[in-house]
Amino acid sequence: MTSPLEYILAARRCEIDELERLARTSELVSLIGRYTHALQRERGITNIFLATDSPEFANLRLLQVAECESLAAQVTSAFEELATGEHRVRNGARLFNRVAVALHAQQGLPELRGRIAARALTPRGSTAAYVRLIAGLLAVVFEAADSAGDPEISRVLVALFNFMQGKEFAGQERALGGAVFASGTIDAPTQREWHHLIEQQQHCLDASAEFSDADVLAAEEAGRDHRAIAQIERLRRKGLALGVAGHALPGSGTVREWYDWCTVRIDTMRTVEDLLTSRLRGLCERKIEEAQGALRDQQASMESLQRSARMAPSDAPRQFGPQLEHSVYEMVQEQSRRLQAMSDELETVRAALNERKVIERAKGLLMAHRQLSEDDAYKTLRQMAMNQKKRISDVADAVLAMAEVLPGPK
C-alpha cells in the first residue's frame, strides 16, 4: 500500500466499521430503554406495595417482576455480545466498566426483591435501590452517546439519553408521590425533593428537545396526554400540601389515581423513546448504506483514474500525470474537509454531555475530600442545589472551581 488512494479507502472502511459498531450499540440502548421502563414500573408498584397492604399491588408486583426478569436476561446477553467483539468497541475500558457497575447492581436484585417480599424495607430504601440500578443502566447509554464518532448519530443518542434521564426523573416522582399518598403525610425534605424532581424532568426534556428533529418533536407534541398532565398537576398540588395543617387527607383511592395517571404519562413518554430508538436504528442503517455507496464510488473513480493514466500515450505523461495527481489531491482534500466538519459538529453535540461530566467530577471530588459514598456525594450536591435554588450542574461547577484552592485529599 504505497498509494494515497488506498489510504482514502482504508479511512472510509474505518468509518463504516465505526457505523456498524454504533448500530450494535444502538440495539443495546434500545433494549436498555425497554428494561428501564419495566424497572421503573416495578419500582412504582413496589412502593405502593410496601406502603399499603393492597393485594392488588402485591399481584401487580409479581407480574412486573416476571417481565423484568425476562428483559434482564436479554440485556445481559446483549452485554455479552458486546464483550465478545471486545476489540471493536470504542472506549471499551469505560464502557465495560459501566457494564460492570450495572451488572453489580443487577446481581443484588434477587436479594432486594426478597427483602421487599418480606416487607423488610421502607419505600424510601426500596426506591433508592431501584434508582441506583437504573442509574447504572443509563450510565451505559451515556457512555454510548459520549463515544459515538458520527455527529448525526451522536445527536440522536444525546436526545435519547436526555429523554431517558427525564423519564427516569418522572418515574422517581411516581415512586415518591406513591409513597407520600400511601402514608398520607409529607415532610419538608420530601417536599423539596418532589419539587426538585419536577424541575429536573423539565430540564432533561428541554435538553432532549434541543437535539431532536422536527418529526420527533411533533410526535411528542401530538402524543402528549393533556388530560393526564392536568390530573398529575392537580395531584401534585394535593400531595405537596399534605404537610400543611388543616388540609384534608386524600381519599384511599388517591394512591391508585396517582399511580395510574403517572403511568399513563410515563407510558406516553415510552412511545416517544421508542420513536427515538427506531429513528436511531434507521439513521444507522442509512449512514452505513451511504458510506458503503461512497466507498464503491471512490473505488470506481480510482479505477478509472488509474486506467486513464495507464492508457495515456507514453509521450504525454506531462499531461496525464498532473491531471491524475490533481484528481487524487481533490479526493484527499474533500475527505479531509468532510472529516473535519464531522469532528467539529461532534464536538458541539458532545458539549451537551458535559453537564453530566461536571456533576460526575464534582461527585468524585466530594468522595475524595470528605470520604463520602457516591450516593451521599450526590445527595450533598442536590442539597446544595436545593438550598441555593440553583441547578445541580451549577453547584457542581462551583465545587470544581473551589477545588483549585482546596488542599488535596488526605
Question: Interface with a second copy by CB under 8 A: which residues?
Answer: 1-8, 10-15, 17-18, 76, 79-80, 83, 86-97, 99-101, 103-104, 107-108, 111, 149, 321, 325, 328-329, 332-333, 335-337, 339-341, 343-344, 360-361, 364, 367, 374
Helix axes 151-183 and 317-351, enclosed angle (nearest 10): 10
Whole-number minimum distance, CB 187 to a second copy, in Å?
Answer: 30
**CB of 332 vs a second copy, minimal distance in Å:** 5
Buried (b) or exposed (e) across 148-159, using 16+ Cβ within 10 A? bbbbbbbbbbbb
Q: How far is the CB of 175 from a second copy (least distance, A)?
A: 24
Three-class secondary structure of residue 3 per DSSP? coil
Query: Mapping DSSP to helix (H, G, I), strand (E, B) and coil, where does residue 282 land?
Result: helix
Judged by beta carbon, residue 234 or residue 326, the one nearer a second copy is: 326
Alpha carbons 230 and 234: distance in angstroms, whole number: 6
Cβ-based nearer residue to a second copy, 123 or 149: 149
Do residues 319 and 312 touch, judged by C-beta distance below 8 A?
yes
Choose between 223 and 321: whose C-beta lies nearer to a second copy: 321
Task: Count other C-beta atoms under 10 Å from residue 87's C-beta.
Answer: 5
- Residue 172 CB, shortest distance to a second copy, in Å, is 22
CA neighbor of 139 nearest in space, from 175, 107, 108, 105: 105
Q: Of 5 and 116, which has the nearer Cβ to a second copy?
A: 5
| Alpha helix segments (H runs only) across 312-372 | 317-351, 354-370
Given phi > 0 = left and psi -120 to 50 = alpha, else beta, which region is 371? left
CB of 143 to a second copy, least distance (A): 10
Cβ-based nearer residue to a second copy, 229 or 331? 331
In the complex with a second copy, which residue's Cβ is closer, 117 or 332?
332
* Residue 326 beta carbon to a second copy: minimum distance, rounded to whole angstroms: 11
Cell of 99: 457494564
Instruction: Provide the sign of the torsion angle of the four alpha carbons 132, 134, 137, 142, taken in this order.
Output: negative
CB of 400 vs a second copy, minimal distance in Å: 10
CB-wise, 5 or 266, nearer to a second copy?
Answer: 5
